[in-house]
Amino acid sequence: MKLIEITDQRKLEDDEIYTTAIACEVEPKQASTILEKFCILLPLQQYGLGHLKRMRRYENDKGNTLLEILVCPEKYFEQIPLELLNYCNKKNIVKVSKIPALNKNEFEEFGRIWPSSYRPNLIERDRENGPTQEHIDNVKKYMKLVKEDTIRSEMELKKSNNGGIIINPVNGMVVMTSTNAYLHLKNIKGEKTLFNPIYTTAMICIEGVSAMVRGEIDSNGILPEDYYLCTGLDLYLHMEPDLMTSMALVHSRIRNVYFLNESFNDGALKTFYKLHSLRSLNHKFRVFHVIED
């Protein structure tokens, strides 16, 4: 089994990434003294460039290795303290990234222009390390339950259903299955609700968790009290969800979504869109396409 995370690298124009700055050559013997003065009197943080390295080594046209210190953005050079002007005789205009890298690819790309620091968050570290065997084993186990949910739905409800379950990753327990959610809805609203097109597999799972949060279904300690919808929970599906369902997943605050098969008609997390990657969303979740052996 393979887990392929569906991501979408942010697409930025050059003017959104880069700006011009002044850099000056420095003598290696004076480097530490000059660096200290610049960091005290003219910190890069005041220009929003704290992610950049202050100095770099580079080779000039003659093949000599030199040291260069980053002074400030080009448009602010006239405002630098007079004490620092003595070190700015041999100055150059350089291009630097004005935004920090969000991932390793950006770090390598931006660093080719001017070196910068990179502090990956926990999710980026997890992506770089790849899925653990424990992670893969858990996905196998839960996807087996998804298939069982599909069969159970057909047997108990006489309803064709792609199957889906919601898991609490903290304790590894099944919070809701689509069949349980359908059965609850059938009991309170009647059998006709089973065929309401709004209740896709993922939507009915969310509805089931909502009923649990409202106290209509006993959680039996699976979820803590005052829980907000699907915050921090993982959804496992047979089919990639559509656009309406994917937006509902945003609002439900789901943590991760795993699906087996792409939906070539209306898939919104890989096939046609990558809705979870939109920069404008106020909540983001991770999406994994599960490839079985």
Q: In what order do the strands lie in the sheet with 91-97?
A: 55-59, 65-73, 18-26, 91-97
131-291 CATH, one of 3.40.50.720, 3.40.50.80, 3.60.10.10, 3.40.140.10: 3.40.140.10
User: Taking Cα atoms as reference points, which of 179, 235, 171 lies closest to residue 208?
Assistant: 179
Q: Which residues pair with 94 in a beta bridge?
A: 21
Report the percentage of the chain scoring pLDDT > 90.
63
pTM for this prediction? 0.78
Per-residue pLDDT of 120-147, as tens digits, reads 888 888 888 889 999 999 999 999 999 9
Structure tokens at 192: 């006709």
The distance of Cα 152 from the centroid of its chain, to the nearest Å, equals: 34
Per-residue pLDDT of 14-69, as tens digits, reads 888 999 999 999 888 889 999 999 999 999 999 999 999 999 987 777 777 789 99
How many CB atoms are located within 10 Å of the residue 198 CB?
11
Q: What is the pLDDT of residue 253?
A: 95
The residues of the chain that CATH labels 3.40.140.10 are: 131-291
CA distance 228 to 210: 8
The residues of the chain that CATH labels 3.30.70 are: 8-125
> 8-125 has which fold?
Alpha-Beta Plaits (3.30.70)
Q: In what order do the strands lie in the sheet with 173-177?
A: 2-5, 286-291, 256-261, 234-239, 164-168, 173-177
If residue 35 lies in a helix (H) or strand (E), which one and from where to where? helix 31-41
CA distance 109 to 105: 6
At 38 the three-state DSSP class reads: helix
Per-residue pLDDT of 260-271, as tens digits, reads 999 999 999 999
